[in-house]
Amino acid sequence: MSKDNSKKKGIYIHIPFCKYICSYCDFNKFYIQHQPVDEYIDILIIELDTIIDTNNIETVYIGGGTPSALSDDQLIRLLIAVNKKVTVNKLKEFSFEANPEDLTIDRVNILKRYGVNRVSMGVQTLNNKILEVIGRGHKKDDVKKAITNLKNVNINNINVDLMFALPGQTVEDLCDSMETIVSYGINHISCYSLILEQRTKLYNQVKSKHIILPTNEVEEQMYDLTINYLNKQGFIQYEISNFSKQGSESIHNSNYWLNYEYYGIGAGAHGYIDGIRYSNHGPVKFYIDSIVKKGNARRVENKVTEKEKIEEHFFLGLRLLKGVDLDIVDNKYNINSRELYKKSIDKNISAGYLKLENNILSLTRKGLFYGNDVFADFLIID
């Protein structure tokens, strides 16, 4: 079997620190105060240096947590290390996640100086009241200032993360946020529905009935509205939650969905290299100790079997609106996917969640909302 996806690779770098903890968040993150952030950056740079072959690296993505929670010195140290490792002006994309209130003019100048060419901002909503309820540290005005600062240094590849089905959020709130964000002239919007995760403050607030979330029906209505509105504004939906102006799709994230390989660097980061999926130790101390003692931070490593590769091809590829080309899958894995997945395909076509046209299997408009149920049906090869 051919060694697929061996060419294009990305590097994901995780900064697990935040200046505040949002009530809904279950990412691998820690409140930044009293954390060994300087030491973490030193260790991160050591782990970055374990990447030997950087010839095929086409994207770098610094995410979190909150990378913009780093001090200027820490950030510069990290960006210099990335610049030493890869020729950043040859990258197709160099992304940096930030919270709006951190994107001062000085800060965006640093990003520009070290080659960052795409910034992804966690905004969630522009309703100040809801921002307070979910524990965010910015206000509506910070978002406009941040975008203006980015554009002033010519970083025009800007994503804004929005959320729907937030506590107290109405359809009108969502419309207001989208309209205002679109009026700021950005080229990418990711719009996610709130997932209520256990072990979050919000989960307890909802369980104890201190907070009531919008119903499923309202959530579906909001998703529908998001798609309709953004389409009308010239944003193309290319993934379940992602919308971009023509040619501005996130290359790094698209490569995940296309199942290309990538290095995961940092505490709790996941990677997929040489056919092995791995995840690093999540707690900062474990991560640091592991790199110091063993030279790597891997907590789990799994060689992906041929069967898993096929499953991944489907459940990642189906997230993309362009769908999965069954002929390509069949040739690549030497299978007959229509036979192998006959039950799943028939069932989801009958339910109106999937369509099969010219051998391309893709989610229907209705199926977009129920994507997770559909993907589960593609994890069943015996």
65 binds ligand SF4 (CB under 6 A): yes
- Indicate which single residue of 4, 8, 21, 330 sits in contact with ligand SF4 (rule: CB under 6 A): 21
Contact status: 22 vs ligand SF4 (CB under 6 A): yes
Q: Does 66 bind ligand SF4 (CB under 6 A)?
A: yes
- Quick one: which of 18, 116, 163, 320 contacts ligand SF4 (CB under 6 A)? 18
d(CA 31, CA 65): 9
Burial of 218 (0-12, 13-18, 19+ CB in 10 A): middle
Distance CA(227)–CA(192), nearest Å, equals 12
Of the two residues 68 and 187, which places its CB atom closer to ligand SF4 in the complex?
Answer: 68
Least distance to ligand SF4, CB of residue 18, Å: 3
- The reply to whether 29 sits near ligand SF4 by the rule CB under 6 A is yes
Count of residues engaged in binding ligand SF4, rule: CB under 6 A:
11
Judged by CB under 6 A, the residue of 40, 43, 64, 282 near ligand SF4 is: 64
**DSSP secondary structure code for residue 215 in this structure:** P
The residue from 122, 266, 271, 367 that contacts ligand SF4 (CB under 6 A) is 122
Question: Can residue 14 be called a binding residue for ligand SF4 (CB under 6 A)?
Answer: no
Q: Which stretch binds ligand SF4 (CB under 6 A): 58-66, 168-176, 314-322, 337-345?
A: 58-66
CB nearer to ligand SF4: give 71 or 87.
71
**Per rule CB under 6 A, is residue 27 in the interface with ligand SF4?**
yes
Is residue 242 part of the contact set for ligand SF4 (CB under 6 A)? Answer: no
Question: CA torsion angle for 176, 178, 184, 188 (degrees, to 10)?
Answer: 170
Interface with ligand SF4, residue 125, by CB under 6 A: no
In three-state form (DSSP H/G/I as H, E/B as E, the rest C), the secondary structure along 245-307 is CCCCCCHHHHHHHCCCEEEEECCCCEEEECCEEEEECCCHHHHHHHHHHHCCCEEEEEECCHH
Would you state the structure tokens that stand for residue 76, as one six-digit string? 């510069």
**Part of the chain binding ligand SF4 (CB under 6 A), chosen from 42-50, 63-71, 315-323, 367-375:** 63-71
Q: In the chain, where do the E strands start and end?
A: 9-15, 17-18, 30-31, 57-64, 93-98, 118-124, 158-164, 188-193, 236-239, 242-244, 261-265, 270-273, 276-280, 298-303, 324-325, 354-357, 360-363
The angle that helices 284-294 and 37-48 make with each other, rounded to 10 degrees, is 40
Q: 66 vs 280, which CB is nearer to ligand SF4? A: 66
- 159 binds ligand SF4 per the rule CB under 6 A: no
- The piece of 24-32, 195-203, 268-276, 313-321 that touches ligand SF4 (CB under 6 A) is 24-32
H/E stretch holding 202: helix 201-207
Residues that bind ligand SF4 (CB under 6 A): 18, 21-22, 25, 27, 29, 64-66, 99, 122
